[in-house]
């Protein structure tokens, strides 16, 4: 997402100066936004590490009339001009159906959450609601917090594996987490016991699927191109323009990108050898 934002930032440099910053934690992200505001920008794009910490400063910018695009993880208020993100609830719904059908409607499932954010809420709600309606005999026996990263997910999964003798599936809310989960499963010698699903279409995950490695059975697409799209939208907001390809004027307030199932059968169609993710 950030790489793609940088690509769009390098376009139209005779008209726009785009500054891209990254942070390692929510507090640093808020501090970075405060620093950027001292430069009096014409628009802002915010890609929250977590939803709640950046919401107050987004509320402030929005109330002051600054064009604001929120990207991917959302905030806890409606203080934005445009929110662009993947269809996170559909991710949870599709993962529940995939796991439910693979398990024949019965089994023990572990859920590895991502980070406190609108993404986590939607991916969790979609999964739980679908299991409740369509697969009531599937039980979520444990939850972990993977925080969008391999190492935390690996550590959480190690503890879960020690606590549970039978696990039939793991629903991971992010592909990086899935890679850590698989490492823990392999280290415990429990390959073949459970299926693992992820989210994001991570390059390493796709390579495994293409090679015939089924340690991660399915993922769901979550386009990294939305980073560039968010920067492009911010430029349009500054210019007071909309999408030239459409008859309607302006830009819709919420843009939801589809989440498509990815398995070994179609992974090649999503694979990009030049991708950094």
Please list the pLDDT of the chain residue by residue as tens digits (277 residues).
788 888 888 988 999 999 999 999 999 999 999 999 999 999 999 999 999 999 999 999 999 999 999 999 899 999 999 999 999 999 999 999 999 999 999 999 999 999 888 899 999 999 999 999 999 999 999 999 999 999 999 999 999 999 999 999 999 999 999 999 999 999 999 999 999 999 999 999 999 999 999 899 999 998 777 899 999 999 999 999 988 887 777 898 999 998 899 999 999 999 888 776 7
Neighbouring-strand partners of residue 145: 113
Reported pTM:
0.83
If 0-12 CB within 10 Å is exposed, 13-18 middle and 19+ buried, where does residue 201 land? buried
Rounded distance between C-alpha atoms, residue 180 and residue 187, angstroms: 11
3-state helix, strand, coil in the chain (%, to 5): 45, 15, 40
Rounded Cα–Cα distance for residues 73 and 201 (Å): 17
Strands (E), the chain: 44-46, 68-71, 82-86, 106-113, 137-145, 169-172, 195-197, 219-220, 254-257, 261-262
């Amino acid at each position: 997402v950030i790489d793609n934002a940088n690509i769009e930032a390098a376009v139209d440099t005779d008209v726009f100066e785009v500054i891209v910053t990254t942070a390692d934690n929510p507090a640093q992200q808020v501090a970075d936004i405060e620093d950027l505001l001292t430069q009096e920008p014409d628009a802002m794009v915010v890609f929250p590490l977590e939803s709640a910490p950046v919401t107050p400063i987004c509320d402030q910018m929005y109330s002051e009339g600054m064009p604001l695009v929120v990207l991917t993880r959302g905030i806890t208020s409606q203080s934005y001009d445009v929110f662009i993100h993947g269809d996170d609830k559909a991710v949870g719904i599709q993962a529940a159906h995939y796991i439910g059908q693979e398990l024949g409607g019965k089994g023990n499932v572990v859920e590895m959450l991502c980070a406190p954010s609108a993404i986590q809420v939607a991916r969790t709600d979609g999964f739980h609601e679908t299991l409740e309606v369509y697969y009531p005999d599937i039980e979520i026996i444990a939850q972990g917090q993977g925080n969008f990263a391999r190492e935390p997910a690996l550590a959480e999964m190690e503890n879960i594996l020690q606590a549970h003798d039978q696990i039939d599936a793991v629903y991971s809310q992010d592909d990086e987490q899935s890679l850590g989960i698989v490492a823990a499963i392999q280290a415990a010698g429990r390959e073949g016991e459970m299926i693992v699903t992820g989210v994001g279409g991570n390059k390493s995950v796709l390579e495994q699927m293409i090679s015939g490695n089924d340690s991660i059975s399915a993922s769901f697409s979550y386009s990294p191109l939305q980073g560039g799209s968010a920067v492009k939208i911010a430029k349009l907001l500054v210019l007071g323009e909309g999408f030239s390809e459409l008859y309607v004027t302006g830009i819709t307030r919420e843009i939801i990108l589809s989440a498509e199932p990815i398995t070994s059968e179609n992974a090649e169609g999503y694979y990009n050898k030049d991708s950094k993710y």
